[in-house]
Amino acid sequence: MIMGECVALVTGGSRGIGRAICLALAGRGVSVAVNYAGNEAAALETVEACRSLGVQAQAFQGDVSQPAECAALVKEVKNTFGRLDILVNNAGITRDGLMLTAKQEDFDATWQTNLRSAFFCMKEASRLMLRQRYGRIINLSSVVGLRGNPGQAAYAASKAGVIGLTKSAAKEFAAKGITVNAVAPGMIDTDMTKRLPDAVRAQMLDTIPMGKPGLAEDVANAVAFFAEPAAAYVTGQVLCIDGGMAI
């Protein structure tokens, strides 16, 4: 395979880290399927930005927290582009709160969007990749999944789950030409972190040896590395992109 012949599906590609991943892949010649949940305008902006880099791109609405929508999404991408070589499970949400006051609906929405989505998108995409005997799967975990964080038990559990999922799938597919890796970002400037109260933000910045938040592009470049055909002998890894936060 060469990068310029690959087709990628990026869940939650409309904004933030997902958008940066779409652009990083498009910049390397990859055709991009940009998934989004509700923000069509943002998805179409990402699509236009990818096309301006000279690749094919299209937006695909789909709520990946629902297994049936994961299946429909992967099918639609295959019907549109003819193949699927790179899957980036990026869609994610936070519903923060202390355990004592946490609601079941928030816990459920968090694991369904952050973890179940990755499982079912991988399950569907891997059927195609197994037939192709080629695939690159990259999952978005988080430093919070490695270290925990007060007020983020549900989020941390979902992101720790992503690591278990990544390592298990890596072993299942290792002999079939499919690699499965994860990135664990620290604090990255996106809509997700803009919502943090100033005090929490300042506290988090104090724990980053580099003393500053990262950019969506910092994460996207690492994802693009795992997506390369040349990364063929790297699987089951979790790479922190965090300015040293998890050291």
Among all residues, which ones are annotated catalytic?
A: 155
Phi-psi region of 45 (alpha: psi -120 to 50; beta: other; left: phi over 0): alpha
Residue whose CB is less far from ligand NAP, 7 or 154: 154
The backbone region for 83, taken as left when phi is positive above 0, alpha when psi lies in -120 to 50, beta otherwise, is: beta
Strand, helix or coil for residue 107: helix
Instruction: Name 156's Cβ contacts closer than 8 Å, sequence gap at least 6.
Output: 142, 144, 145, 147, 148, 149
Half-sphere exposure in the Cβ direction for 57 (13 Å, CA) = 30
CA distance 236 to 169: 8
For ligand NAP, the closer of residues 63 and 108 by Cβ is 63
Which residues contact residue 222 at a Cβ distance below 8 angstroms, ignoring those fewer than 6 apart?
Answer: 183, 239, 241
* Smaller CB separation from ligand NAP, 134 or 190: 190
Q: How far is the CB of 183 from ligand NAP (least distance, A)?
A: 8
Separation CA 24–CA 146 (nearest Å): 26
Contact partners, residue 197, CB within 8 Å, separation at least 6 = none
Which stretches of the chain bind ligand NAP, using CB under 6 A?
Answer: 11-12, 14-18, 35-39, 42, 63-65, 90-93, 113-114, 140, 142, 185, 187-188, 190-193
- Least separation, in Å, of the C-beta of 10 and ligand NAP? 9
**How near is the Cβ of 29 to ligand NAP at its closest, in Å?**
23
Compute the least distance from the CB of residue 242 to ligand NAP, in Å.
8
